[in-house]
A and B are shown apart, each in its own frame.
Chain A
């Protein structure tokens, strides 16, 4: 366990957040979380809700999975079970968060909560929990990585839905309508995000 290679300084946490959001954007650089983007990105307001829900969940589950990985799986030599453990843990956490939201605030529930069942199986969330293990992050850095990854996805889906709303008013060749043009938009945006790559190396 070489967790403490990077110092816990504010700078490193900030850099991890930025790199997770931009240079390693989970959607545009890793192409994860694509199905919900194709399905839900036709309106900006729903994208904002879904994006915020994903950001919240990636942060929480990254922290939870960090704990269970380093304090249970590693000591028991069961690292190879991380995939299934993370899936189960994410599903349970999402359910729990949904219940709490529904009870605590109806406004919050309608803004974020209704998206939660949708993202239980979102691969971006599992992806972030798995990728964080590739780097020797400490707890705070893991939080930053989770939040940054989620924020990157939030940013990407919001931009895509903004573009799609504009496109809605234009006539498209019928073969391109819907998912087709969305994939092309994502491709072009991914090219733009390549510009960020190499900016930060962590």
Chain B
């Protein structure tokens, strides 16, 4: 009786083990045989670069294995829609995960989500040239300096690689670490440091209530901690013309402007420039002294801070009112100007309306929208 019981136990364990082994081996073999696409070529920008990859992975991961980093925030799940690239040939059908993220025009232009395109054959894509210079960096937090009650300046010294090459106005993607059950995410922040400083980067970050990334930066990231990020991304940059410039930004939107202004000073560019800095009240202003001394030093630069919610009797002597009204009041005629905006979508849309009314054609209005 006992012997029978033991036999039974052994038999059932043996059976399940055998079944599991047979099925796993079968699946592994099948994956090797069926999903083996051999070596495929990724042709980038009409033969500018051709990279051989092992077929079967997504275009996004095949590219990042070869040090070409397409922006991506969701980790390849197809939900952030940052990783769009033009796939001219070999991309296959548009999958159901992609459809909601692509507009009719994008579908016509063969734009695809690179995380959803599988490399199954030779594939021909085109990406902006800047992406070639995007790298992955590790760095160490040098300081987290409060600028206002809800904005900090984060300075990161680069450890590997040790140098970064970027244009004023570009942005980085910081990778958060997991904390308190919140997943790891990547978020974009504009560089506020000067491009001539290649050994470290500075960012201006405003705390978003309940934001996964900013909560991590404000509450969990400490001075001395390692940080991973990639960049530089983006085509928000000063044009090469001599036209006078109007900058409009509020809060952490100052970052790219702060970088551009100091870059202009270093390079000896003397285009007439106005900077309208919109804030709610005096406690939301920062870098006032730095900007005022820049204004005194540079004949071509005018700094105009404006407060929209400052109490009447506070002793503030500068401009008051919505930033759009202040721009209209101070510079009613903007013919021949270029405009550079950085801020929330609502603020940018309102500014574009006022600026076009004052005579700037839309193609001369450049902006960086925080989404």
Question: Which residues of A line the B interface, CB within 8 A?
Answer: 46, 72, 76-78, 80-81, 84-85, 88-89, 92, 95-96, 99-100, 102-103, 106-107, 110, 114
Contact = CB atoms under 8 A, between A and B. Distances in A.
Contacts of A76: 11, 15
Interface in B8-32: 8, 11-12, 15-16, 19-20, 23, 26-27, 30-31
Interface of B: 8, 11-12, 15-16, 19-20, 23, 26-27, 30-31, 34-35, 92-93, 95-97
A88 B26 CA distance: 13
B26 A84 contact: no
Contacts of A80: 12
A99 B26 CA distance: 12
A88 B23 contact: yes
A92 B93 contact: no
B27 A92 contact: yes
A70 to B, nearest CB: 15
A81 B15 contact: yes
A106 B93 contact: yes
A81 B16 contact: yes
B19 A85 contact: yes
A134 B40 CA distance: 51
Nearest to B8: A77
A96 B30 contact: yes
A88 B19 contact: yes
A81 B12 contact: yes
A159 B31 CA distance: 37
Interface of B is mostly: helix
A113 to B, nearest CB: 10
Contacts of B15: 72, 76, 78, 81, 85
B26 A110 contact: no
A103 B34 contact: yes
B27 A102 contact: no
A99 B34 contact: yes
Contacts of A96: 26-27, 30
A99 B31 contact: yes
B93 A107 contact: yes
Contacts of B92: 106
A95 B27 contact: yes
Contact of B95 (A72, A85, A110): A110
The 8 closest A-B pairs by CB, nearest first: A92-B23, A99-B34, A103-B34, A106-B93, A106-B92, A110-B95, A99-B30, A96-B30
B27 A114 contact: no
A115 to B, nearest CB: 10
Given A77-B11, A88-B23, 5 more contacts: A76-B11, A103-B34, A107-B93, A114-B95, A114-B96
Given A78-B12, A81-B12, A110 B96 contact: yes
A144 B154 CA distance: 67
A39 to B, nearest CB: 15
Nearest to B92: A106
Contacts of A88: 19-20, 23
Contacts of A89: 19, 23
Contacts of A46: 96
A81 B8 CA distance: 11
B35 A102 contact: yes
Contacts of A110: 93, 95-96
Nearest to B23: A92
A66 to B, nearest CB: 16
A89 to B, nearest CB: 7
A93 B26 CA distance: 10
A92 B35 contact: no
A84 B97 CA distance: 33
B112 to A, nearest CB: 14
A107 B93 CA distance: 8
Contacts of A81: 12, 15-16
Nearest to B24: A92
Nearest to A104: B34
Nearest to A80: B12
Nearest to A114: B96
A78 B7 CA distance: 11
A201 B103 CA distance: 53
Contacts of A72: 15
A107 B92 CA distance: 10
A81 B17 CA distance: 12
A139 B213 CA distance: 57
Contacts of B19: 85, 88-89
10 contacts: A46-B96, A81-B16, A88-B19, A92-B26, A96-B26, A99-B31, A99-B35, A107-B93, A110-B93, A114-B96
A106 B90 CA distance: 12
Nearest to A73: B15
A88 B18 CA distance: 12
Contacts of A99: 30-31, 34-35
A76 to B, nearest CB: 6
Contacts of B35: 99, 102-103
A85 B97 CA distance: 33
Nearest to B118: A102
A76 B14 CA distance: 11
B25 to A, nearest CB: 11
